[in-house]
Amino acid sequence: MRRIILEEPLARTAVWSRGFALFALAVALIGVVMARAGLDPTAAMAIEGGTMLIAVAAILFALAAMVVIWRTGYRGTGRLLCGLFIAAVVLAYPGFMVIQANRIPHLRDVSTDLAEPPRFATSPQAVAVRGGKTPGEPSQAEKDLQRRLYPDIQPIVLDIEAMDAHALILKIVTARHWRITDDALPLGRFGVGRIDAVAKTLVMGFPADVTIRIKPLAGQARVDIRSVSRTPWQEPGSNAARIQALAADLDDQSSDDK
């Protein structure tokens, strides 16, 4: 005589939780890929906003599944846990950004020289890459906020000649995969060099414009860096972190080359 094994029904809310979470993950990845490929940041953030709503729905379905499984003994615990985990992964990055935004005010424009910030190149090629725009002078409020938040961001003095500093900066910028849009050598004793480039944020790949000024000194070179976000959709502190990282690379590599 055959035994008939009856399985408990599957909680549909657990199935919906995992399904919504997987859909949110897929949409999030598509949004990141499209943003890094050049999609307008506003459109990319709209996609990510929709992703967050889908992930929240997955969490709500998981909570509902917990109640159903607790009361009825239905199957689906693995599916709801999977939905919770994937939804948490999807929400981790935007959640971190919200925390950072509350902890660190966003500065659109950061410079090592607040008295005379480096000017961006106005060549047709550089302006075209910037979408026809050239960053102007930072406001006094931005300067005051930077002084308060990042007092350590100061001009960099290297114990190498200006031409050597220019070559070293080009090497570092290239290694960081920044797109160079303008390049002027520090020719002569009083010539000022400049390198303009486009950097991208780590995850979404949103563009920021960077200009680096090289001034020759007696046997040394003064380097000033300015980083300006093109959109408000930037990781908080990204401009300052970009300058600090470049300054650290310059310090390390110029010391190694001595």
Average pLDDT across the chain, whole number: 89
Q: What is the model's pTM?
A: 0.83
pLDDT at 189 over 80: no
What sign does the CA torsion over 12, 15, 17, 20 have? negative
In a shared domain, residues 114 and 85: no
Asked whether the predicted pLDDT for residue 219 surpasses 90, the reply is: no
Q: Return d(Cα 131, Cα 128) in angstroms, integer.
A: 5
| pLDDT classification of 1: cutoffs 50, 70, 90 | very low
Helix axis angle, 162-175 relative to 238-256, nearest 10°? 120
Lowest average pLDDT, out of 21-30, 63-72, 76-85, 94-103, goes to 94-103
Q: Which domain holds residue 95?
A: 12-103
Is the same domain home to 169 and 223?
yes
Task: Tell whether 63 and 142 lie within a shared domain.
Answer: no
Q: Domain holding 156: CATH number?
A: 3.30.310.80
- Domain end (from 103, 121, 153): 103
Over residues 125-142, the pLDDT tens digits come to: 999 998 888 998 898 999
65 shares its domain with 160: no
CA angle 245, 248, 252 (to 5 degrees): 140
Please check whether residues 247 and 128 belong to one and the same domain: yes
Per-residue model confidence as pLDDT tens digits over 63-91: 999 999 999 889 899 999 999 999 999 99
Q: What whole-number distance in Å separates Cα of residue 141 and Cα of residue 147? A: 10
Question: Are 96 and 31 contacting, i.e. CB atoms less than 8 angstroms apart?
Answer: no
Give the end of a domain, one of 103, 134, 155. Answer: 103
